[in-house]
Amino acid sequence: MISILQPLIPHYRSEFFKKLGKSTQFKLFTYEDSATLDRQRLENSYIKSEHIWNIKLGPFLIYSPFGFLPSKQLVLMLHIGHLTTWLLLFTKFIHKKEIILWGHGISVKRYLVEEKKPSLLMKLMIKLSDKIWLYTEKEKKIWKDVFPDKLIVSLNNTIDGLGEIALNKNLIKDEIKIKHKIRHDKCFIFCARFETPHRRVDLLIQLITKYQKNYGFIIIGAGKFKPDFSSFDNVYDYGSLYDTAIKNDLFFIADIYIQPAWVGLSIVEAMAHSLPIFTFKRSADVLQCVEYEYLIDGYNSMIFDDLDSFYDRFSCLSDDEIVVMGEHARDYVQKNLTMQVMVENAQNSFNKTK
């Protein structure tokens, strides 16, 4: 038996745990309550988990480990604020359990510093563990340079439902636009929660203003940092949207996925829909999540230095070049980011030592 600890189980993790359960016996434990899903504007998963007692002290978490007692392997979170995890790591010589740590191997906010000089506390935590699950190959490379003999796995973080996305755009695109009252011939689409100022909505608004006459902007998402788009007649605002059929329609009729900063799993969904990703280069002012590593400038995306760079490079792009980048985006997902790949990467690590 394997015990896996997560904060909660959102809908986009459902297929991962379902597929993992076909070949691996595990039990899921969570420490957040359902109200957290509502606050983070996430949809709940149908996957069952057991809530464990916990207490939060600022950035620190203490949780009950007693539900883990029957398990020989523990998949805990790679989080330096989890005090119970530290206790379990330091007492491995007593309980004899194998500990796998799963999470981000680098801080998004301190990425530019930590990719050159990894966190000392993170380094100690990884050293004490038996195995590591990270989300991307870039994180794996950073830590393999530090611990070449430790088993470090890149899961290739992805989402479920990608296999249901239509393979090709076809002749009914205009009909779907009429159905959803989309007037613009060309459209960008943005799909993310407005729960952090790091999305750089200021850049998005400047782009909406710049292309007000020629491009529509489909906006999916809600949150406390969401601006009022009602003054823009080229914005189609859908708010929080969990209807898969409508969401697929909107991605289907879009031409480009736009997210200025803090790109995450939404770009995987967009790439599966054959959409190139437009974003800005990671910097001290433009923070990007680990999924940013999936983007290859000029191949499946356009990564701009600043707004002037966006205006100059975009003005030179042809429709055919945008379509080709979208095809490359979908190919990248099919080769690297299927749920089956993510599950196999996790499964194969359980019995490996290096």
**Residues 6 or more apart in contact with residue 301 via CB below 8 angstroms:** 276, 277, 278, 279, 295, 325, 329
Q: What is the pLDDT of residues 189-222, one digit of tens each?
A: 999 999 999 999 999 999 999 999 999 999 999 9
Encoding tokens for residue 70?
């029957």
Which pLDDT does position 242 carry in this prediction? 84
Q: Which residues contact 223 (CB under 8 A, 6 or more apart)?
A: 41, 193, 194, 195
Q: How far apart are CA 103 and CA 144, in angstroms?
A: 15
**Token pair listed for 330:** 């979908």
Taking phi over 0 as left and psi of -120 to 50 as alpha, with beta for the rest, 96 belongs to left
| pLDDT at residue 160, as a whole number | 77
Q: In whole angstroms, what is the distance from residue 92 CA to residue 98 CA?
A: 8
Give DSSP secondary structure letters for 152-190. EEE-----S-GGGS-SS--TTHHHHHHHTT---SEEEEE
pLDDT at 278: 98
Q: Enter the tokens of residue 124.
A: 């100690």
* Nearest alpha carbon to residue 270 among 337, 208, 173, 342: 337
- The whole-model pTM stands at 0.90
- Enumerate residue ranges in the chain where pLDDT < 70: 34-44, 163-171, 353-354
Structure tokens at 331: 């190919």
pLDDT tens digits for range 76-126: 999 999 999 999 999 999 999 999 999 999 999 999 999 999 999 999 999
- Identify the pLDDT of residue 47: 87
